[in-house]
Each structure stands twice: as C-alpha cells, then as structure tokens.
Chains A and B, each alone.
Chain A
Amino acid sequence: MAKKEHENNDEFRPNGTIAILVVFVITTLLIWGTIYMILISRGSTI
C-alpha cells in the first residue's frame, strides 16, 4: 500500500478537499451573483 501510494495518488481520496471547495463555490456564486444583480438592476448604458 505504502509503496503503491508513491507511484500514484489514486488511493488517496481527498473528500475534505471536495467539501471545502463546495463551500467555496457556493460562496462565490452568492457574492458574484449579488454584485451581478446590482449591475442588472441598474440597467442599460447604451
């Protein structure tokens, strides 16, 4: 097992990493979306 791990990283399953990144993505969508909605609500510039 230990030897195999050195050859490849497939055995390691970084589930915590995925969880952190999901939190990050949700935060991104919320913050970005809020600013985008401000833009939309203010209307056209041409």
Chain B
Amino acid sequence: MSAQPMHIHPYERNWMVFSAVMLVLFATAVSVAAFGMGIQVPAPEQRVDPRIVATDPNSPWSNPGLREVSPGKYDAYILAHAIPVWEYLPKEITVPAGSSVSFYVTSSDVQHGFKIQDTNANFMVIPGQVSKLTIKFNKPGTYNYICTEYCGSGHGIMYGAIIVTP
C-alpha cells in the first residue's frame, strides 16, 4: 500500500471526466424539462382514510367524476378499486379538445396504477394518498387510462377512457 496519491491512467482520467460531463448533461436536460417546461412528478396532495373514502358523503370520491372549475378547466375525481370488481369510477370521461384536466386519484383497497396512454400522466395510486397531475388534451380522440400496478387477478382488465371531443 502506498501513501502516494492514486495513479490514474491518462485514458481513464479522460473517460472519467467525460462520464461526469455526460451525466451533468442528462441532469441538466431533466431539470429543464421539470422546472422550465413544468413536466413534474406527483407531489403530496392530500391524505385520506381508504376505509371510508368511497362512502363518506364529504369525500369527493363518494361521487367520483368530472367537475368543471372554470371554462376549459376540470377536476376529475377518480376512484380505483379491486372490490367488488377491478375498475375505475367513473369508467369514462368526456371533455372538449383544449381542456385542462387535473386528475385526483385514490384507491379504496389495494395499490393501483394510473396511466393515460399517449400522455405524461402515469402515477401510482396508493390507498391513503391522493395522486394528482394535470394534463391538457389538445387532440380529439380516445385516451385509455389503464392500471399499471398489480392489484389482484383482474389487474389486466382494469381500464377506463377519456373521450376528447373536437
């Protein structure tokens, strides 16, 4: 063993510097997307009691669905559950093109996922927690939302749809 500083081959030193630069580049790119373009991951929104979230009349998920907050802006309260059957409530949402929809999703039983195809909405649905992201739908069409976390034998049939009308 030596008390001298570590010897590094010049090729390897260059490679290490280059690796660091490349990683900084990736970090910068994700930061620009996150803080410059508002492409963010979910933040703690609200905590709920999963045992009563679907039945308590004061809970928005006792009456899940779409609420118009202002013209073109909506809140969608969506309940994911495996009992009695694997489904989202509501199963279908219709909004006009150009709408901005905030999704508030929770579960009354096990963990689920929520991914709206062809959008950046993709998050975990965890009992006791509320997941929220906001998506703007510019193009008319049907966007399925599908369950992306194993939630029992019906996991593969669990889905719903957003219909964006012209």
A and B touch in the complex (CB under 8 A): yes
Are the CB atoms of A44 and B118 closer together than 8 Å?
Answer: no
Are the CB atoms of B120 and A21 closer together than 8 Å?
Answer: no
Q: Which of B144-160 contact A (CB under 8 A)?
A: none
CB distance from A38 to the nearest CB of B (A): 9
Are the CB atoms of B120 and A25 closer together than 8 Å?
Answer: no
Q: Which of B98-138 contact A (CB under 8 A)?
A: 118-121, 133-136
Nearest to B120 among chain A residues (CB) is: A42
Are the CB atoms of A42 and B119 closer together than 8 Å?
Answer: yes
The answer, yes or no, to whether B24 is at the interface (CB within 8 Å) is: no
The number of chain A residues with a CB under 8 A from chain B is 20
CB distance from A16 to the nearest CB of B (A): 11
Are the CB atoms of A36 and B29 closer together than 8 Å?
Answer: yes
Nearest to A15 among chain B residues (CB) is: B11
Interface centre among B11, B33, B136 (most CB of A within 10 A): B11
User: Known contacts A39-B39, A40-B33: does B120 contact A17 (CB below 8 Å)?
Assistant: no
Are the CB atoms of B10 and A10 closer together than 8 Å?
Answer: yes
Are the CB atoms of A45 and B22 closer together than 8 Å?
Answer: no
Chain A interface residues toward B at CB < 8 A: 8-10, 12-14, 17-18, 21, 25, 28, 32, 36, 39-40, 42-46
